[in-house]
Amino acid sequence: MRKSDVIQLIFHRPPPTDPKHEKGLAFAPTNIALVKYWGKRDAELNLPMTSSLSIALPDKGAMTTVMLQDQAQETVIVNDREIPSDSEFVKRITQFLDLFRPEKKWHLNINIKMNIPIAAGLASSACGFASLISALNDLFGWQLAAHQLSILARLGSGSAARSFWTGFVEWHAGVQSDGMDSVAEPLSVEWPGLCVGLLTMSDKEKPISSREGMQRTVNSSILYTAWPKKVTQDLAILKQALHVKNFPLLGGTAESNALTMHATMLASWPPVCYFLPETIAAMQQIWSLRRQGLALYFTEDAGPNLKLLFLEEDIGAVKEHFPSVEVVNVFEKE
């Protein structure tokens, strides 16, 4: 099964690409997985081995504007800087656009504004591809539903499937080879007062991409066989925690899931390690604060930075111990 087959299943004809507006514009929030996606059963369609569950950061993400342009290639601008056309990022975007233009008849000026560090484990590819497909949907008037956009965004980057909603989102692994059931959906639960703290140790580009890191883990880590079991357990526990609003259960499950993911990576060869000394030091400080009674937990993605999990009532204490933390009150209404 190829990506072009999925395009056919969604559109039932070549995707219409007569612009309906001068510009297409869309925002997508970034998402932080509490139960992680790590490993693919199909690398072409980015079909995951397991389901995953994330929380969106409502104001953090990517705003993307697309316009047709009279040039033989794309112009990609991220945070006011033009990205070289031979870079991996532009190549990935170009290949993604090729799915919608088999004859390469049009080209785009793509302007992305991100208010998160790029490629440092803050899911910039997730909100990037989600906002790009939504901007195309706007430009060409496709009127696709969110679940269809989720399937298309996944073809660009797996975790992008989860970036179409605020709040908690589950990405179902699915079982079909065409991936039409590997789609995300929002959970109908809110948690006013739940906070995510971004603790940035480094905003440098990570040395091993998620794509490469997860492939290496699946291929070489003896611990990976335990991962699907761990995810199944954690998903059930996390949903229970959401249902009964048990914060230590949510925080503990997310932290344990992240540490297990990193353990599977460490057992890969060559090893996949995203920790910096500062990452470990922050973990130890969190464990020490927890022993003293603070309900503070963390999760970590494919980068050295931690995302802290805590409740609104502890914002003061968290800021006191981590002065550089950026707090996102996830469900706060404007």
Nearer to ligand 2P0, 131 or 314 (CB): 131
Tell me: does residue 268 bind ligand 2P0 (CB under 6 A).
Answer: no
State the residue number with the nearest CB to ligand 2P0: 158
How, if at all, do strands 107-114 and 75-78 pair? Answer: parallel
Q: Which of 101, 107, 211, 321 binds ligand 2P0 (CB under 6 A)?
A: 211
Tell me: does residue 302 bind ligand 2P0 (CB under 6 A).
Answer: yes
Tell me: does residue 216 bind ligand 2P0 (CB under 6 A).
Answer: no
Q: Which of 24, 158, 197, 304 binds ligand 2P0 (CB under 6 A)?
A: 158
Nearer to ligand 2P0, 158 or 289 (CB): 158
Whole-angstrom distance, CA of residue 117 vs CA of residue 89: 15
Tell me: does residue 221 bind ligand 2P0 (CB under 6 A).
Answer: no
Q: Which of 3, 37, 173, 224 binds ligand 2P0 (CB under 6 A)?
A: 37
What are the Cα distances from residue 168, in Å, to 4, 16, 124, 233, 324? Answer: 30, 32, 18, 18, 26
Whole-angstrom distance, CA of residue 45 vs CA of residue 50: 14
Whole-angstrom distance, CA of residue 18 vs CA of residue 2: 25
Whole-angstrom distance, CA of residue 316 vs CA of residue 329: 13
CB of 72 to ligand 2P0, least distance (A): 27
Kind and range of the H or E element at 91? helix 88-98
Nearer to ligand 2P0, 158 or 179 (CB): 158
From 31-39, 70-78, 132-140, 319-327, span contacting ligand 2P0 (CB under 6 A):
31-39
∠ at Cα 307 (331, 302), nearest 5°?
A: 125
Contacts of 2 (CB under 8 A, 6+ apart): 44
From 36-44, 81-89, 242-250, 311-319, span contacting ligand 2P0 (CB under 6 A):
36-44
Tell me: does residue 52 bind ligand 2P0 (CB under 6 A).
Answer: yes
245 SS3 class: coil
Contacts of 287 (CB under 8 A, 6+ apart): none
List the interface residues with ligand 2P0, window 111-140 (CB under 6 A).
Answer: 123, 125-126
Q: Which of 36, 41, 38, 72 is nearest to 54 (CA)?
A: 36
CB of 243 to ligand 2P0, least distance (A): 22
From 35-43, 73-81, 283-291, 310-318, span contacting ligand 2P0 (CB under 6 A):
35-43
CB of 330 to ligand 2P0, least distance (A): 16
DSSP 262-308: HHHHHTSSS------HHHHHHHHHHHHHHHTT---EEEE-SSS-EEE
What are the Cα distances from residue 118, in Å, to 60, 102, 124, 126? Answer: 12, 29, 5, 11
CB of 305 to ligand 2P0, least distance (A): 11
319: phi then psi, degrees, rounded to nearest 5: -65, -30
CB of 141 to ligand 2P0, least distance (A): 27
Tell me: does residue 3 bind ligand 2P0 (CB under 6 A).
Answer: no
Tell me: does residue 150 bind ligand 2P0 (CB under 6 A).
Answer: no
Quick one: tokens of 278?
């500062």
Q: Residues touching ligand 2P0: how many (CB under 6 A)?
A: 16
Binding footprint of ligand 2P0 on the chain (CB under 6 A): 33, 36-38, 46, 52, 123, 125-126, 157-159, 210-211, 301-302
